[in-house]
Amino acid sequence: MKHKDYSYLYANWDDEVRRRKVTLSNPVFIKGLALAPIVVAGTSLANGILLCIAVFFLLTPTRIITSLITRRMSVPFKTFFYPFVSAIVFAVVYYYMYQYLGARVLLLGVYLPILVIDPLIVKNFEKTRKESVLYSFINGMRNTMGFAVACLLVCVIRELLAFGTVGGIQIMGYGLLPMAQYSFGGFLIVALVAGAWSAVVKDYRYRVEVEAMHDERHP
Amino acid sequence: MTSLQRKKHDKSMLWAIFALVLCGSVLHGARVWLLCLIAVVTAKAVDVLVSMIRRCDYDSTDHSSEVAALIFTLMLPVNIPIYIIVVSVGLAIAVGKHMFGGKDVYPFNLAALTMCCAAVNWPGQVFSAVTPFAKVDLLSGYTTQATLSNASLIKDGGVPPYGVVDMLMGNYPGVMGADFVIVIVAIGIIMILRRKITWHIPVTFLVTCSAIAFAFPRVYGFSRLESVQFEMLNGSVFFVALFMLADPVTTPKTPKAKIVFGFITAVLGMVFRYVGSFDIGTCFALLLVNTMDGYIERMVGGKKIKVKQIEDAEEKTEDKKSSQRRIYTADKTETPKPHRERIRGASDAMDLISETEDNIDNVIYSTRTISIDEILKAEAEQKKKRGGKK
């Protein structure tokens, strides 16, 4: 990366953080959203893909519809509308998921419907400013991407450690850490990955700062 | 407990463990040494590696990880696969020790955490028992003489078919080093007499466990005293009491709090043994009670009193010293500065140095060179002037 880019990044760091939902402000690893489904239900790659599909069809539409409805509402009314809309959207999504994917959807148990009130979907009600449809769409897609990356990463690690497989394909002879299939193992793995992720982001921020300062001194 | 005391404690523990490893190797062969070596190397390697990742200095005199790894290894059967030891020890040291701040501050007993980690992951391998003098493959640990452990037998409603002497000597299918009750008791007495550990936690723990076993016997068809004998001589109760509960980092510091700590651990440990899924209920109980360590200390009040006493004593000694100094320096023109003022002066100097360090970059990149001494002098003069104006 060029020094000019670093200085630009340093000057607009907050905007960049808001924009880069996959890396700099990952909804799972940095903000700690949607932990319950990932920790409990995200035990295999198949479960992870199901969760990603559900979030893809739930997050952005909920956000767009709610932003259209609640454009001139105060926060208390928004608080009511967000879960209401997400529940209606979820009913439709769940119906079609069950039609196309069958009983596999039931593997996730209560952790699929729980997405309706997950902060990942409904946290936006706190914002007081109005959102355009385009902004809602773009931001919703960024959040979905961030969630998908985190969810799939954790699911792959857990499946590999617990059963020695990835997506059902045998990689290792035995599971290196069988407790990865349980919830407490999931918490541990999410914590470790989130810690490493935060450390990398912190290091990146430090590097940007140093390079930008260097650029200022030697234009 | 100071860092020096903890180091001394770790060294004495290492010697005590060495005695048990020796006994274990007599009964279970050379594989005991191999597994202990692997555990120690793993603990050391993970300690160094995680210290490097955390970018903190590695203290080579800190042996807490090795002690925990050895205690954990001695609670396992000799046919345990090597990777279980490596993964469990590595995970416990990385997560249980370093993620909570590293040496001297980790909240959970490392050996208990390692044991729980292994028990949850590989219960089949961890809770098996190997007959003494059985043939065990050195690398794979394969043996044909692995059976159910005594603790599991009692849990399933059975009775261990071994005499008291055999159970005291550890001469029955069991683990590598935690079953030699006589040796463990002897080590405990020596360590208490030499003041390496205090009696409060182990004795309270053992007495409470015995009382519970006497009051609620699990082994039917036998007298209450025989039930106490079966409960206490199996399931590594003495080993846990001496080696895990005496860890100075994760246990309370005052005698009263230690007694309460030992009592709660024993009650919970026996409850877990009676109704839990695993034989090593004490390890889970210990982890649970570790979370209440600070609360117990506050609840009993020992720490507050002690801190207050120390503060009072310090004030008294300071008063004495200052009065002595006043007498001694009565003829001199300058009176010695009180302790707090000296600290304030030192912190001012530190502030000055840090400010100067902040300005070092400017010095380097400016065209004329200025020595740091000059800057320090100039800063000091400016501060003096500001102080004078105020």
Between the CA atoms of B300, B302, B304 and B307, what dihedral angle is there, to the nearest 10 degrees?
-170
Instruction: Please indicate, yes or no, whether residues B218 and B90 belong to a single structural domain of this protein.
Output: yes
Query: What is the least distance, in Å, from the CA of A93 to any CA of chain B?
Result: 37
Residue with tokens 């809602």: A136
In a domain, residue B363? The reply is yes
Q: Is A192 on the interface with B (CB under 8 A)?
A: yes
- Best of B93, B108, B120, B358 to disrupt the A interface (most A CBs within 10 Å) is B120
Chain A residue at shortest CA distance from B365: A217
pLDDT at A126: 73
CA distances from B114 to B90, B109, B119, B185 (A): 9, 9, 9, 24
Q: How many domains does chain B have?
A: 2
Residues of B with CB under 8 A from a CB of A: 83, 87, 91, 95, 99, 117, 120-122, 365
> Collapsing DSSP states into helix, strand and coil, what is residue B148?
strand
Residue with tokens 């692997």: B38
Q: What is the pLDDT of residues A69-88, one digit of tens each?
A: 877 777 777 788 888 889 99
- Please, which residues have CB within 8 angstroms of residue A71's CB and are 6 or more apart in sequence? A130, A131
Q: Distance between CA atoms of B338 and B111, rounded to whole angstroms?
A: 46
Residue with tokens 């690398």: B139
Range of the domain at B129: 3-300
Chain A residue at shortest CA distance from B116: A179
pLDDT at B319: 59
Does the distance separating the beta carbons of A182 and B83 come in below 8 Å?
no
Last residue of a domain, one of B285, B300, B315: B300
Q: How many domains does chain A have?
A: 1
In a domain, residue B143? The reply is yes
Range of the domain at A72: 3-217
Helices in B130-280 by DSSP H: which ranges?
150-155, 164-169, 181-193, 200-215, 224-233, 237-239, 255-275
Q: What is the pLDDT of residues A131-140, one digit of tens each?
A: 788 888 999 9
Residue B264's nearest CA partner among B281, B279, B286 is B286
CATH of the domain at B102: 1.10.3430
List the pLDDT tens digit at each of the 390 positions of chain B.
Answer: 567 777 888 888 999 999 999 999 999 989 999 999 999 999 999 999 999 988 888 888 888 999 999 999 999 999 999 999 999 999 999 999 998 888 888 999 999 999 999 999 998 889 888 888 888 888 888 888 788 887 778 877 778 888 888 888 888 888 998 889 999 999 999 999 988 889 999 999 999 999 999 999 887 788 888 888 888 888 789 999 999 998 888 999 889 999 999 999 999 999 998 888 887 889 999 999 999 988 898 888 654 545 555 556 666 666 555 554 444 444 444 455 555 555 556 666 777 777 776 666 555 555 555 677 777 888 888 877 776 554
Instruction: Please indicate, yes or no, whether residues B265 and B369 belong to a single structural domain of this protein.
Output: no
Residue B11, Cβ density class (10 Å: 0-12 exposed, 13-18 middle, ≥19 buried) = middle
**Chain A residues with CB-CB distance to B122 below 8 A:** 178
Q: Is A101 on the interface with B (CB under 8 A)?
A: no
pLDDT at B329: 45
Interface A:B, Cβ pairs < 8 A: 16
**Chain B residues with CB-CB distance to A191 below 8 A:** 99
The model carries a pTM of 0.77
Question: CA triplet A189, A195, A197: central angle to 5 degrees?
Answer: 100
pLDDT at B316: 62
Give yes or no for a contact between B97 and B302, defined as CB atoms under 8 angstroms apart: no
Instruction: Please indicate, yes or no, whether residues B372 and B281 belong to a single structural domain of this protein.
Output: no
CA atoms within 13 A of residue A144's CA, in its CB half-sphere: 20
Helices in A115-182 by DSSP H: which ranges?
119-122, 133-163
pLDDT at A3: 58
Residue with more model confidence, A16 or B307: A16
CB-nearest to B122 from A178, A188, A191 is: A178
Residue with tokens 């234009």: A219
pLDDT at B336: 52
Helices and strands (H and E) in chain B: how many = 18, 2
pLDDT at B31: 93
Instruction: Please indicate, yes or no, whether residues B136 and B285 belong to a single structural domain of this protein.
Output: yes
Beta strands A165-166 and B128-130: pairing type?
unpaired
Residue with more model confidence, B39 or A121: B39
Q: Locate B40 and state its tokens.
A: 């120690």
Residue with more model confidence, A58 or B7: A58
Give yes or no for a contact between B292 and B264, defined as CB atoms under 8 angstroms apart: yes
Q: Is A178 on the interface with B (CB under 8 A)?
A: yes
Q: Distance between CA atoms of A188 and A161, rounded to whole angstroms?
A: 12
Query: What is the least distance, in Å, from the CA of B120 to any CA of chain A?
Result: 7
In a domain, residue B360? The reply is yes
* A148-175: average pLDDT: 92
